[in-house]
Structure 1
Amino acid sequence: MNGSVRMGRVLGVPLRVHWSVPLLVMLFGYSLGSRTLPARVPDQSSAVYTLAGLVGALLLVVSLLAHEAAHALTARRKGSQVQSITLWALGGMTEMGKLRTAGSAFVVAASGPLTSLVIGAVAVGTGIGLDTVSGWSMPAAVLLWLGWVNLVLAVFNLLPAAPLDGGRMVQALVWWRTGDQDRAERAAARGGQILGFLLIAVGWIAVLRGALSGLWLALIGFFVMIVASGERRRATLTPALRGLRAADAMTSPVETCQDWLNVQRCVDEVAVRTRHSTLALIDFEGRPSGLLHLPRLARVPASERETTRVRDVATPLSKCATCAPDDLLEDVLEGLTPGRGLPVLVTDGQQPAGIITAHDISRIVQRHALRGTESP
Structure 2
Amino acid sequence: MNGSVRVGRVVGVPLRMHWSVPLLVGLFAYGLGRQGLPVWTPGRSDAVYALAGVVGAALLMGSLLLHETAHAAVALRKKISVEDVTLWALGGTTRMGRPQSAAAAFAVAVSGPLTSLVIGGIALGAGFGLHGLSGWAVPSVVLAWLGWANLFLGVFNLLPAVPLDGGRVVQAVLWWRTGDRDRADLAASRGGQIMGLLLVAAGWISVLRGAPGGLWIVFVGLFIMVVAGAERRRAALHTSLRGVRVSEAMSSPVTTGADWLTVQRFIDEVAVHSRHSALPLVDFDGRPSGVVQLRRLASVPAASRESLRVREVAIPLSQCAVAAPDEPLSTALDRISLRTGARILVVEDGRLVGIATGKDVSRLMQRSTLSGKDTR
Return the TM-score normalized by structure 2: 0.82
Q: Is the 8 A contact 2:252 2:353 kept in 1?
A: yes
Following the alignment from structure 2 to structure 1, what is the Cα–Cα distance between the partners of residues 266 and 129? 74
- Which sits farther off after the overlay, 89-98 or 37-46? 89-98
Q: 1:211 Cα shift?
A: 2.1
Following the alignment from structure 1 to structure 2, what is the Cα–Cα distance between the partners of residues 185 and 157? 18
Q: Which amino acid aligns with 2:322?
A: C
Q: Which amino acid aligns with 1:116?
A: S
Residue 227, structure 1, aligned to residue 227, structure 2:
yes
Following the alignment from structure 1 to structure 2, what is the Cα–Cα distance between the partners of residues 94 and 37? 33
TM-superposition CA deviations, 1:230-289 (whole Å, max 9, x none)? 21122122234455544332211224568645868879x735xx5x66555678997767
Q: Is the 8 A contact 2:323 2:332 kept in 1?
A: no
Q: 1:66 Cα shift?
A: 1.5
Aligned residue number for residue 182 of structure 1: 182
Aligned residue number for residue 353 of structure 1: 353
Counterpart secondary structure, 2:14: strand
Q: Which amino acid aligns with 1:186?
A: L
- Which sits farther off after the overlay, 254-263 or 122-131? 254-263
Counterpart secondary structure, 1:93: strand
Counterpart secondary structure, 2:7: strand
Q: 1:49 Cα shift?
A: 0.9
Following the alignment from structure 2 to structure 1, what is the Cα–Cα distance between the partners of residues 105 and 293? 40
Following the alignment from structure 1 to structure 2, what is the Cα–Cα distance between the partners of residues 265 and 220? 50
Q: 1:315 Cα shift?
A: 7.0
Q: 1:223 Cα shift?
A: 1.5
Q: Percent identity?
A: 53
Q: Which amino acid aligns with 1:62?
A: G
Counterpart secondary structure, 2:316: helix
Counterpart secondary structure, 2:132: helix
- Which sits farther off after the overlay, 166-175 or 246-255? 246-255
- Which sits farther off after the overlay, 227-236 or 333-342? 333-342
Q: 1:324 to 1:187 in 2, by over 3 A?
A: closer
What pairs up with 1:97-246 in 2 under 5 angstroms? 97-242=97-242, 244-246=244-246
What pairs up with 1:16-165 in 2 under 5 angstroms? 16-165=16-165
Following the alignment from structure 2 to structure 1, what is the Cα–Cα distance between the partners of residues 353 and 135? 72
Q: Is the 8 A contact 2:98 2:334 kept in 1?
A: no
Q: 1:367 to 1:164 in 2, by over 3 A?
A: farther
Q: Is the 8 A contact 2:291 2:320 kept in 1?
A: no
Following the alignment from structure 1 to structure 2, what is the Cα–Cα distance between the partners of residues 103 and 352? 36
Q: 1:167 to 1:48 in 2, by over 3 A?
A: same
Counterpart secondary structure, 1:336: coil
Q: Is the 8 A contact 2:167 2:188 kept in 1?
A: yes
Q: Is the 8 A contact 1:237 1:365 kept in 2?
A: no
Q: Is the 8 A contact 2:67 2:113 kept in 1?
A: yes
Residue 270, structure 1, aligned to residue 262, structure 2:
no
Coordinate RMSD, CA, aligned: 3.4
Following the alignment from structure 1 to structure 2, what is the Cα–Cα distance between the partners of residues 168 and 284? 46
Q: 1:285 to 1:202 in 2, by over 3 A?
A: same
Q: Is the 8 A contact 1:263 1:308 kept in 2?
A: no
Aligned residue number for residue 316 of structure 1: 314
TM-superposition CA deviations, 1:272-322 (whole Å, max 9, x none)? xx5x665556789977674455x999x99xxx9xx999x98x972438735
Q: 1:81 to 1:296 in 2, by over 3 A?
A: closer
Q: Which amino acid aligns with 1:112?
A: G
Aligned residue number for residue 3 of structure 2: 3
TM-superposition CA deviations, 1:128-166 (whole Å, max 9, x none)? 111123451100111111111111111111111111111
Q: 1:308 to 1:195 in 2, by over 3 A?
A: farther
Following the alignment from structure 1 to structure 2, what is the Cα–Cα distance between the partners of residues 145 and 368? 57
Q: Is the 8 A contact 1:200 1:218 kept in 2?
A: yes
Q: 1:97 Cα shift?
A: 2.7
Return the TM-score normalized by structure 1: 0.82
Q: 1:107 to 1:348 in 2, by over 3 A?
A: closer
TM-superposition CA deviations, 1:167-213 (whole Å, max 9, x none)? 11111221122111111111111111111122222223323333221
Counterpart secondary structure, 1:133: coil
Following the alignment from structure 1 to structure 2, what is the Cα–Cα distance between the partners of residues 66 and 296? 36
Q: 1:359 to 1:265 in 2, by over 3 A?
A: same
- Which sits farther off after the overlay, 28-37 or 80-89? 80-89
